[in-house]
Structure 1
Amino acid sequence: MTHRILAINPGSTSTKLGLFEDDKLILNETINHPGEDISKIRAAAPAGQTAVAQKEYRLKAVLDFLAEAEVDPSALDAVVGRGGPVRPIPAGTYRVNDALVADLVSDDFIDHASCLGGVLAREVADMHDIPSFIVDPVCVDEYEPVARISGHPELPRKSLNHALNKRAVARRVAAEMGKKYEECRFIVSHLGGGVTVSAHRCGRMVDSSDANGEGPFAPERSGSLRVDDLTRRCFSGKVDLKTMLAELNKRGGMAGELGTSDAREVEKRIDEGDERAKLVYEAMAYQNAKTIAALTVALDGKVDAIILTGGLANSKRFTKMVEEHIGWLAPVKVYPGSREQEALGEGALRVLCGEEKARIYPTGDFE
């Protein structure tokens, strides 16, 4: 029996759709939403609700596209969406239940376009009485207890990282090694506008650098900073909360140092003799390698492979610099870009085929 699965992956101004027949991607489309449409909806939405306010707009766009592409939703076996930042949960494929929808649309959590993935999947699936799922959302948290302690009782460490793509790429590398993901020990670095590095031990991400405040600086994010200097800046009277958060998570890192988050632009400057650009770029690779090395502690120093993925992994110059720092520790595997769409389809397929059970939100228990 062939399983037909629709995957929905919302971004800030786009919605990616993938139609699968079992593990074969037969239709891959990106619906680009006009920036002025998104801005208008966001401006009219209550604080903390700017993403979920786009539900009806994006749902219509999805249904219109399926009609134009002559895809019959009633012939689908499941719909799967990208999961948003909700409660900390173990990795896996979750059935979209009422509790999950309530949290995805709540203003108690981060207001992010990914919250729409599960909501849209549920809407489309309920129209045809088929299951809806999310897979490995950014809030996957499998930290060991020792990894949660930060040194400040009011500020425990949190897990917020690129779980969907990381686990998908790790599964691929394990298969190429002739092993199961659950048998391997990997360090995986997702290199995007934000960078997260995680330790994968026998199928679980047991420690990681957090996307919003830990680890190496990235094209748009500042990463770890001196706490005393950061605190003084916050209380200097020069910045308010919104400005400070933007400095850290949107205009930080390479963008703050060089005025651009585009690695191609930075490499062009380096080729033209810009020594400052060269230094900052090298520092970003150095910090990434340093974080990778630190996380080997979570694997007791036994690492089967170091995996570099994400958009910045398309830069051979950057991945080479990282490998030069860390290649002595374990083989370095480079898988540029993202496998999010494939990961969504594969996660749903494993449940439909009975290879694994769906989890229940928010407990993480298996059905």
Structure 2
Amino acid sequence: MTETLTILTINPGSTSTKIAVFADETRLFERKVDHSAADLAPFDTIGDQFAMRKAAIVAALKEEGFDLASLAAVAGRGGKLPPLKRGAYVVNDDMVEFLRHRPIDQHASNLGALIAYDVAAPLGIPAFIYDAVVVDEMDDIARFSGVPQLTRRASCHVLNMRAMAIKVLKRDGIRLEDANVVVCHMGGGVTATVISGGRMIDVLSDEEGPFSPERAGRVPCRQLVDLCFSKDYDRKSATKLMRGVGGLVAYLGTNSALEVEARIDRGDAEADLVYRAMAYQIAKGIGELSTVVMGKVDRIVLTGAIAHSKRMTDLVVERVKFIAPVEIVPGENELEALAAGTLRVLRGEEAPNVFVAPPRPATAARDRSRMAHA
């Protein structure tokens, strides 16, 4: 009989940390550990929250009566690291040092790997991240923006998107590496990707694709330049207009799709038009990415929180079903995705990558100087 593999998954967010324990594919329990404003107030940086968040996780596990000694591995949400390959990475000393002392950005996900490592190390078991925040395997041709100073970046909801594509295809006995799939994640931001040969060869980030509940998405360039150089906006307020108070918030004053749908049900014509416009742009983005693989798309997958909305998915499916069969897998399934990826590694179905930290800037400059004088 094959030994059951028990995995703890950790996904830190801005004001909470979600955890779950899986026995093979079965979720034993899930907890959301909230961090109040008072809890977070003493800390200047995300990194400073480490001990508080870890203690809260350990306390939650004790409340569940869970014995850490039964774990085979711990998986944390990948943080703001340099662009990585898809799949699993072992959390090693290089990764810990990078996330503690020179993270690319102050992001709650940076704590995922750190807490996973700190829990796993005393138990003598591995800690992993899987499909980190920035996985970049885009084709070179996809990087061009039209302006040499502006390079397109692979920024999307990687973890959930790849996991849901794998899940849909596995049900039909198809490997992700053998299919072309367009996946759209619909949440506070909307992103989309086309996966071919297992790689995310192109993406629509949340700033260059459809507008969403809180983000403006792709906007007219010249009008944006004029807006930024007007006296009405500084850098901070212009950025917030694109990310934070764009999309549904800008048009309708709310980021809640449920509220918008309630307005539509009450006969609000403006809400109906804006909502249909968002679906229109989502469908257009899916169609755009379908051209990358010459229209040879095996599946379209709609995921994210807004995929729970039948009204929204019906609007999108109506426009894209001619391209390929559409699968709807709602929710933000990061904990499940972390567990599934880690399980594949533990079973030997995937080999984990090894993180090598880039040299510190001063070290890099010193090395160039040595080479110049060699």
TM-score range, shorter chain: over 0.9
Match of 1:294 among 288, 293, 299: 288
Counterpart secondary structure, 1:9? strand
Q: Which runs of 5+ in 1 are unaligned?
A: none
Corresponding position: 1:100 with 2:95: yes
Match of 1:338 among 314, 332, 335: 332
Deviation per CA, 1:223-242: give whole Å up to 9, x if none. 01112111222222322222
* Deviates further, 9-18 or 355-364: 355-364
Equivalences for residues 208-247 of structure 1 within 5 A: 208-211=203-206, 213-247=207-241
CA contact (8 A) 1:192 1:218 kept: yes
Counterpart secondary structure, 2:202? strand
Q: Distance in 1 between matches of 2:231 and 2:165?
A: 45
Percent identity of paired positions between Structure 1 and Structure 2: 44
Q: Distance in 2 between matches of 1:11 and 1:343?
A: 16
CA contact (8 A) 2:31 2:60 kept: no
Q: Which runs of 5+ in 2 are unaligned?
A: 359-374
Equivalences for residues 200-279 of structure 1 within 5 A: 200-211=195-206, 213-279=207-273
Deviation per CA, 1:262-318: give whole Å up to 9, x if none. 011001111112111111101100000001001012212101111111000011001
Q: Distance in 2 between matches of 1:362 and 1:92?
A: 15
Q: Distance in 2 between matches of 1:356 and 1:363?
A: 22
CA contact (8 A) 2:88 2:128 kept: yes
CA contact (8 A) 2:103 2:110 kept: no
Corresponding position: 1:14 with 2:16: yes
Q: How much does 1:319 deviate?
A: 0.6
Structure 1 runs (4+) deviating above 3 angstroms are 105-108
Counterpart secondary structure, 1:147? helix
AA aligned opposite 1:35:
A
Q: Distance in 2 between matches of 1:119 and 1:144?
A: 31
Counterpart secondary structure, 1:330? coil
CA contact (8 A) 2:80 2:103 kept: no
Equivalences for residues 46-61 of structure 1 within 5 A: 50-61=45-56
Counterpart secondary structure, 2:353? coil
AA aligned opposite 1:267:
E
- Over 3 Å counting, the alpha-carbon distance change for 1:105 and 1:174 in structure 2 is same
Counterpart secondary structure, 2:49? helix
Q: How much does 1:246 deviate?
A: 1.7
Corresponding position: 1:283 with 2:277: yes
- Residue in 1 that maps onto 2:355: 361
- Residue in 1 that maps onto 2:135: 140
Alignment coverage as a number of residue pairs? 356
Deviation per CA, 1:110-161: give whole Å up to 9, x if none. 3221111111111111232221100001201110010011111111000111
Equivalences for residues 312-323 of structure 1 within 5 A: 312-323=306-317
Corresponding position: 1:308 with 2:302: yes
Note the aligned Cα RMSD (angstroms). Answer: 1.6
- Residue in 1 that maps onto 2:5: 3
AA aligned opposite 1:235:
F
Q: Distance in 2 between matches of 1:326 and 1:352?
A: 37
AA aligned opposite 2:244:
K
AA aligned opposite 1:349:
L
Q: Distance in 1 between matches of 2:67 and 2:171?
A: 35
Larger Rg: 2
- Residue in 2 that maps onto 1:66: 61
TM-score (norm 2): 0.91
Q: Distance in 2 between matches of 1:346 and 1:215?
A: 29
